[in-house]
Structure 1
Amino acid sequence: MKAMILAAGRGERMMPLTEYTPKPLLQVNGKPLLEYHIIRLKNAGFSDIVINHCYLGEQIEAYFGDGSRWHVNISWSPESKALETAGGIRQALDLLGDQPFLVVNGDIWTDYPFHSLPASEFVDSLKHQQTLAHLILINNPIQNSAGDFGLIANKVTNHAKSMWTFSGIALYHPAFIKSCQPLIPQSLTPMLREAATLGLLTGEVYSGEWRDIGTPERLSTLEQDLKNQSDLCGKRF
C-alpha cells in the first residue's frame, strides 16, 4: 500500500516561523516534522511515499530527495498553487495508483500504528468500492470541541450523540478522489460529509497520542514534552 503525506500548506498560523522555512521543515528536537512521518511510515512497512508541496517546496525536495537516506522511495507532487486537501490528492493520483492508499496530514503529531491499516478489515470493502474511505477519528481537542463526525457501528455519520474529530489520517479509494476536477483547489470536508450521508465511510476511534501542531505555541509545547520524556528515559536508564 502506498502512502501520501499532505505537505503543501503555507503555514499561515505558524508565522513568523514559516516566513522563510516551509512548515514541514520546522524542527522538533533537531529533526524536521516531516522526517518523523517518513520514519514512522517506513517502520510501519510503507516504502512508497508520495508528498505534495507548494510554498517553498523546493526546500523540502532538496532536503529529502528520493528518500533513499530513509530507505523509502519518495515521489513528489509539486503544486504551482495550493490545491487544498482533495485537490492535492487528485493531482497525485497517477503516483498513487489504482488501489486504496493512506493519506496523512503533515501538520499532526501521532503515534498511530500505521502498520495495522493495510491488513485491516476495512481495506477489502474499499477494494470492492463498497466504501470509499476509512477515517481515523480522535477525541475532540480544545480547538475543535464540537467534533466533526459521529460513528455508529463502524459507519461514519454527520450527526450522532457522540461526535469525534477527524485526525487527518485516512484510507481512500482512488474513485473517491477522481470525482474532483483536476487542478482546482478543493477541500476534502464537503466530500466526506456527502459520502457519510450516503453511508460510504467507515471509521475507527484512536485514543493514543495525537496533536495538531499548526501553531508556534503547539510546536513549542511538543518540543518541551519530548525533551521531558527524553530526560525521564535518561534518568531511568
Structure 2
Amino acid sequence: MKAMILAAGRGKRMMPLTETQPKPMLKINGKPLLEHHINNLRQAGVTDIVINLAWQGDKITEYFGNGSQFGVSITYSQEQAGGLETAGGIIQALPLLGEQFIVINGDVFTDYDVTSLKQLHLQAGEAHIVLVENPAHNPDGDFALSHLSPDSQKYTFSGISRYHADFFKGLSAGIRPLGPILRERLSEYQVSTELYLGQWDDIGTPARLDEINQRFAL
C-alpha cells in the first residue's frame, strides 16, 4: 500500500511564514508537519510514499531526500508553478501510486492511524474519506456521513482518504480541485465515509500554528 502526501500548495494564508518554504515544512513541536505524517505512516507499516511538489519544493527534497533516513522510500511528483490543486496533483501522480492508495493533506496535524485504511477494501472506482467534527473556521462542514441523508449534519473533510485509482478514471490532468468530484461521486454512492473524533487540526493560519505549538509547550 502506497500513500501520497499533498505538499504542493503555496499556503498564502500562512504568509510570511511560507514566503521561503512550503506550508508542510512548518514545524509542530520542533518537527515539520511532513515529518509527523511520514512517521505516522511508517508506524502503520506504510513505507512507500509519494510527495507532490510545487512551491519551494526543493526545501522538501533537501530535507527528506529519498526517505531512507526516516525509514521510508519517497518518490516525488513535480508539478507546474502554482500547483495542480488536490485532484490534479493526484491524477498526475497516478502512475506512481498503484491500484489503491492513501492520500493525506500535508497541512493538517493529526494522530489518525491509517492502519484501518490499509485494511479497507474498495471496489473499482470507489473512495473512502475521513471526516472530523467541524472546527470554528468551518462550522457548516463539508459532507454528510451518509449519502442516504445528504441534508443531515455535515462534517469537515479531514484531508485523509483512500482511493481506488479508477475513481479518477476519465479525468484529464491539469488544475482540478477534489471537492466537486467527491460531492458528485457521493451522490452516485461511490464514496464511503467515517467520522474520526481524535486529534486533528487544520494548519490554515499562523494563529492556528501558534495555538498548536503552545499545547506542546504546556
TM-score (norm 1): 0.88
Deviation at 1:34, TM superposition (A): 0.8
- Give, in angstroms, the shift of residue 28 of structure 1: 2.0
Q: How far does residue 30 in structure 1 lie from its aligned partner after superposition?
A: 2.0
1:55 match: secondary structure: coil
> Aligned to 2:207, which of 195, 217, 220?
217
- In the other structure, the counterpart of 1:111 is 111
- Aligned partners of 1:194, 1:168: CA distance in 2, in Å? 17
After superposition, the CA RMSD in angstroms is 1.3
- Give 1:157 shift: 5.9
2:85 corresponding residue in structure 1: 84
| 1:232 aligned residue | none
Q: What residue number does 2:165 align with?
A: 174
Alignment of 1:40-189 (within 5 A): 40-81=40-81, 82-97=83-98, 99-120=99-120, 123=121, 126=122, 128-129=123-124, 132-152=126-146, 156=147, 159-182=150-173, 184-189=174-179
Per the alignment, residue 231 of structure 1 pairs with: none
2-structure distance, mates of 1:89, 1:157: 28
Report the counterpart of residue 193 of structure 1 in structure 2: 183
CA deviation digits over 1:27-49, x for unaligned, max 9? 22221111111001111110100
CA distance in 2 between counterparts of 1:28 and 1:210 reads 13
SS in structure 2 of the partner of residue 143 of structure 1: coil
Give the superposition deviation at 1:227: 1.9
Give a deviation string over 1:172-214, Cα, whole Å, max 9, x none.
Answer: 11111233212x1000111011101111111110111110012
Q: Which amino acid letter does the alignment assign opposite residue 25 of structure 1? A: M
What is the rounded CA distance, in whole Å, between the counterparts of 1:198 and 1:10 in structure 2? 32
- Name the SS of the counterpart of 1:101 in structure 2: strand
Cα distance in 1, alignment partners of residues 137 and 149 from structure 2: 19
- Matching of residue 226 in structure 1 with residue 208 in structure 2: no
Verify the 8 A CA contact 1:158 1:196 in the aligned structure 2. no
Provide the rounded CA distance (Å) in 1 between the counterparts of 2:31 and 2:200: 18
Q: Any unmatched runs of 5+ in structure 1?
A: 229-237
Letter in 1 for 2:95: D
User: Residue type matched to 2:116 in 1?
Assistant: S
Indicate the SS of the match to 1:117.
Answer: helix
Pick the structure with more helix per residue. 1
Q: Which amino acid aligns with 1:160?
A: D
**Matched pairs, number:** 217
SS in 1 for 2:5: strand
C-alpha contact 1:148 1:158 (8 A) present in aligned 2: no
CA distance in 2, matches of 1:191, 1:13: 24
For normalisation by structure 2, the TM-score amounts to 0.96
Retained in 2: the 8 A contact 1:151–1:160?
A: no
Q: Give how far 1:159 is off.
A: 2.1
Runs (5+) with no aligned partner, structure 2: none
